[in-house]
Amino acid sequence: MKIIIYTTPTCVYCRMTKEFLDKRGVSYIERNVIEDESAREEMINKSHQLGVPVIDIDGEIFVGFNRSELESLLKSNQSLSSKKI
């Protein structure tokens, strides 16, 4: 599973998203859209949004931090991974 999180340094929900994934041992790539103009353009092209966090999980785009949606997605991805083994 490839996860990219588009963030800003002052975004509380960005921090919550990263803490949520860190506690579950899920790796991700963080792209700071304040410092990285190409990341900002990429985020806007993917989400058509200016707000953060924008979370790209294997090409599926989520805007904002939705704990229950992320938990559900991670659980379904784990069960898919275990079926492949």
> Residue 24 and residue 84: Cα distance in Å, rounded?
21
Residue 78 has pLDDT above 80, yes or no: no
pLDDT at 76: 80
* pLDDT digits 0-9 by tens, 22-39: 999 999 999 999 999 999
Domain ranges of the chain: 3-84
Say if CB 56 and CB 46 are below 8 A apart: yes
pTM comes to 0.87
Within 10 Å of residue 45's Cβ, how many Cβ atoms?
8
Say if CB 7 and CB 50 are below 8 A apart: no
Burial of 2 (0-12, 13-18, 19+ CB in 10 A): exposed
pLDDT band at 48 (very low <50, low <70, confident <90, very high): very high
Domain range 3-84, its CATH number among 3.40.50.20, 3.40.50.2000, 3.40.30.10, 3.20.20.100: 3.40.30.10
Short-list 49, 58, 9, 13, CA closest to 41: 49
